[in-house]
């Protein structure tokens, strides 16, 4: 069904430089972004073919790659022997392949070419025992339509389907490079920051309240609890032990490695701008396991903000983030409309 082969690579993977424009996808063993770490500009003789599946040999992370791509040194290439294999049915193959390889654990298994070739997968067949491509492609189309309609309904219900910039938003974006900036102390703007309290994993009772800890996975939400803990309000900013700041648009609990900056009185877009400034100031490598960021550090944190007459210009912050929000979501809206 697939010809399995090793990657094409003759350049030094440890010296790979990602490029912002041009180049080809660089596929590694990561489990997100279709396995693509970014784009690189290397000798095209080392490109792997498109319309293939990239397979992490010791992680079983697998993705359909439509376009030619470079790979890291732990990727196997699955080239289809089936003439009809392509983007219209590849996701069906991937779903059943992931199920077949699900018993293999990270670090405990290494997939050689022989192991991958001998692995069996289950696919729908016709009455003549041929692979039923018609069914697979129809099934994938139905799922896509269902998900796109859900996306469109969400965009409409949340007001995100309106991507037209207002005059104020256009003005704010055009004037961004000429804004006056000033340094402000977080405590002087938002009062004393609050620190969460430790709640051991074994003591957490399942519920609906997001519980925020340090980390980037799931934006730091480690559990949903019903414990009697202090509830921090929506429209606030958290800064974890590593100095990573995140905006929260929901009520939540937090552990003792999380500082809460009380931006709740701001417009949400202005609060998001402040969160970004906090992150830029605090998340530069100065905080780590040996030197944690705490609420007292938030009180001493100085951030750069647009200013007017010596005060933060929250109005322009609101307009800038609102405009950027619309520009970012615009492609999603157009994608949904096109698909529908």
Given a contact cutoff of 8 angstroms between Cβ atoms, the answer to whether 77 and 52 are in contact is yes
203-217 pLDDT per residue, tens: 999 999 999 999 888
For residues 327 and 314, give the distance between their C-alpha atoms in angstroms, rounded to a whole number.
20
- Distance between start and end Cα atoms, the chain: 33
Burial class (CB in 10 A: 0-12, 13-18, 19+), 201: exposed
Architecture of domain 180-312: Alpha-Beta Complex (3.90)
Quote the pTM value. 0.62
7-57 pLDDT per residue, tens: 776 667 677 888 888 899 999 888 888 999 899 998 888 999 999 999 988
115-151 pLDDT per residue, tens: 888 889 999 999 999 999 999 999 998 998 888 888 8
Token readout for 281 is 């100031």
CB atoms within 10 A of CB 218: 11
170 pLDDT band, cuts 50/70/90, is very high
| Fold of the domain spanning 2-123 | Adenine-n6-DNA-methyltransferase TaqI; Chain A, domain 2 (3.90.220)
φ, ψ of residue 62 in degrees (nearest 5): -135, 140
For residues 308 and 181, give the distance between their C-alpha atoms in angstroms, rounded to a whole number.
8
For residues 73 and 150, give the distance between their C-alpha atoms in angstroms, rounded to a whole number.
39
For residues 173 and 320, give the distance between their C-alpha atoms in angstroms, rounded to a whole number.
6
71-114 pLDDT per residue, tens: 977 899 999 999 999 999 999 999 999 988 877 655 555 677 88
């Amino acid at each position: 069904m697939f010809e399995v082969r090793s990657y094409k690579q003759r350049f030094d993977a440890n010296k790979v430089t990602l490029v912002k424009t041009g180049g080809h996808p660089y596929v590694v063993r990561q489990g997100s972004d279709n396995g693509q770490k970014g784009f690189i500009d290397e000798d095209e003789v080392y490109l792997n073919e498109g319309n293939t599946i990239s397979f992490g040999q010791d992680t079983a992370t697998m993705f359909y790659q439509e376009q030619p791509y470079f790979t890291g040194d732990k990727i196997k290439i699955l080239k289809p022997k089936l003439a009809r294999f392509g983007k219209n049915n590849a996701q069906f193959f991937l779903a059943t392949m992931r199920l077949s390889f699900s018993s293999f654990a990270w670090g405990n298994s290494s997939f050689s070419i022989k192991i991958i070739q001998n692995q069996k997968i289950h696919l729908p067949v016709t009455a003549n025992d041929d692979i039923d491509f018609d069914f697979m492609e129809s099934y994938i189309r139905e799922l896509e339509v269902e998900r796109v309609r859900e996306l469109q309904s969400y965009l409409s219900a949340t007001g995100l389907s309106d991507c037209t910039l207002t005059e104020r938003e256009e003005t704010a974006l055009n004037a961004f490079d000429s804004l006056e900036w000033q340094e402000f102390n977080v405590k002087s703007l938002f009062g004393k920051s609050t620190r969460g309290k430790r709640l051991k994993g074994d003591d957490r009772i399942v519920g609906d309240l997001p519980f925020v800890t340090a980390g980037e996975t799931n934006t730091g939400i480690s559990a949903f609890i019903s414990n009697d803990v202090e509830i921090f309000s929506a429209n606030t900013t958290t800064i974890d032990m590593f100095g990573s700041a995140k905006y929260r648009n929901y009520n939540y609990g937090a552990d003792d490695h999380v500082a809460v900056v009380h931006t709740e009185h701001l417009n949400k877009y202005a609060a998001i701008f402040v969160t970004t400034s906090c992150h830029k100031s605090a998340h530069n490598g100065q905080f780590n396991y040996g030197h944690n960021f705490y609420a007292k550090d938030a009180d001493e944190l100085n951030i750069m903000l647009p200013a007017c007459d010596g005060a933060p210009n929250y109005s322009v912050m609101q307009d800038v983030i609102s405009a950027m929000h619309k520009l970012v979501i615009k492609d999603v809206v157009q994608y949904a409309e096109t698909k529908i």
